[in-house]
Structure 1
C-alpha cells in the first residue's frame, strides 16, 4: 500500500471510529490494528495523525468490550516503536491504564493493559513515570489477588518497572516481597513461580529488596523447596536469590546449615541442572564450604561429605 493510500485509509478509519455505529467502529479499528501490527512506518503515520491517541484512549472507555480491546491493541502496536513510547506514556494515559486494571473483569483487557505498560516501561525514561502514577502499587495489589489469566502479564510488567531503583523501593513498601513469596509457595501458582522469583531477584539488587528478603520468615527454607521442585527456571532464580542472601546475611547461611537436605539438593543440581543452575549451585556449595571453616558460623558437619 502506498503512503498516499495509507494516509487515506487512516483518515477514513478515524472518521468511522467516531461514528455512532459500533459495527463501523469495529471494522475501522480492525483495519487500524491490522496495518499497525507489524509495520513500524504504518505506526508512525498513524501516530502523526492529529488527535489519534486521544481518540483511541476515549474508545478504551466505551461500554463495548470488543471496541475497548481493539483500541488497546492499536495503542500497544504503536508502543512497539521506540520513538513513540515517550509521548504515549503521559501521566493522564498512565492513570487511565491504572484505572482499567483496578476495574476491569476482562482477562483480555487486563492482558492488553499489562502488555502496554510493559512495552512503555521498556523506555528507561518512562519507568519513573509509572512510579509517580502509582502503577507499582496497582500491580502488586493485582498480583496479590486470586490467580488469573493475566497473572503472567502482571508479573512481567512489574519486572520491567522495578528495574528503576525508586520503583523497587515502592514495590517493597507495598509488600511485593511477601506477595511474590506467596505466589512462589502457592500450590496453584507453580507456573508463575519462575517469573515471581525473577522479580524477587530484581528487587534483591537493591538494599531495600534484599533486606526485606532477609527479614522474610523461613526464606532459606522457601528457596530450598523451590530447588527441590521441577522447574529449572525457578531453580535458577532461587539459587540467584540465595547467593545474594548468603553474601549479606550470616543468619541465612546458618539457616541453610540447619536444613539437612540443603547440601544434597545443591549437589544434585550442580550435576543435573541447567548450565546456569549448575553454576549457581557450585557457587553456593563453595560459599557453604568456606562458611563451614569459619569459627563464627556453626557449620553442619554433614556438609563436607556432600561437597567432597
Structure 2
C-alpha cells in the first residue's frame, strides 16, 4: 500500500474523531423525541403528523372501563356456598363469640332460660332447607353466648340472642284449648305405630263401642281390652262415662294402645284434675316407638342368617 494513502486515512480518522468530540455535547442536549428512529416507511417524515400523547394521569382508571363496570358482584361472600343466609348467620355468631369470649360466664344451669327457634321456624326465617346438624352449630354458639354473665353481657349479644328466641306467647295463644261441646262430648285423638283412634267420651253408665261393635267383639284378647280401658280403670271412672271410638290402621295391639291414649285425652277434657293420676298410670304421653325396618341381607331388622362354614 502506498505511504500517501495510509497517511491520508489516518488524517481523515483524526478529523472524524474531532468532529464527534465537538458534536457530542450537542447530542446530549437534544430531547429524545427529536431523535430520528430508523424506519422503512416510504412516507416522507414531513407528512407524518406527530399526535401528542396524554399523560398517564389523564387516562381513565382500569376499574371504570365498560367491561369492569358491568361485572356482577354477589352481595354476600357466602353466595357460592349454596346456603348464603345460614353461613352468614353462623359466621356472624362466630365473630361475636370470638369478640366476647373473654367475658365472665356463669354455669349453664344458672343461665337465663331461653327457648330457641325450632328447625322449621329457622327454615322459614332463611327461606331455605337447613339440615339439623348445621342448625345445631348455631344453637351451640347461642348457648355459649347465653352463659355470659347478665351483669356484663353486651347489647350486641342480647340482640343476637333475641333474634333466635322462640316466640312462646304466640305459640301459646295459637293453641286452642279443648272443651266439652253443647252435647256433653269430649273428643280425643290417640296414635300408636300406624294405628289411629278417634274417641268421643260423654257421661254415661260405662258402655264402650268401637267401630260400631262391642269392645269384646273387636278385641278378643283380654290384655288388649284391659289396655284400652286402663285410663278409666286407673281413675275409677269406669261406670261414669260412655265411650264411642273409631280405630283404624295397624294391628289389634296397636289399635288398643291408640285407644288408650285417645280415652285418656278425652277424659282430661272432662276432668283436668285427673291429669296427675293419668300420668302416674302412664297413659298421658304417646309411645313414639315404631317398628324398625328390615335391612337388606338380614332376615329381619337385625337378625342375621345362620353362618355356614362351607
For the aligned pair, the TM-score class normalised by the smaller chain equals under 0.3
Name whichever structure is richer in strand by fraction: 2
Q: Kindly name which structure, 1 or 2, has the bigger radius of gyration based on alpha carbons.
A: 2
Name whichever structure is richer in helix by fraction: 1
Length-normalised TM-score, structure 1: 0.22
Length-normalised TM-score, structure 2: 0.22
Higher relative contact order (CA 8 A, sep 6+): 2
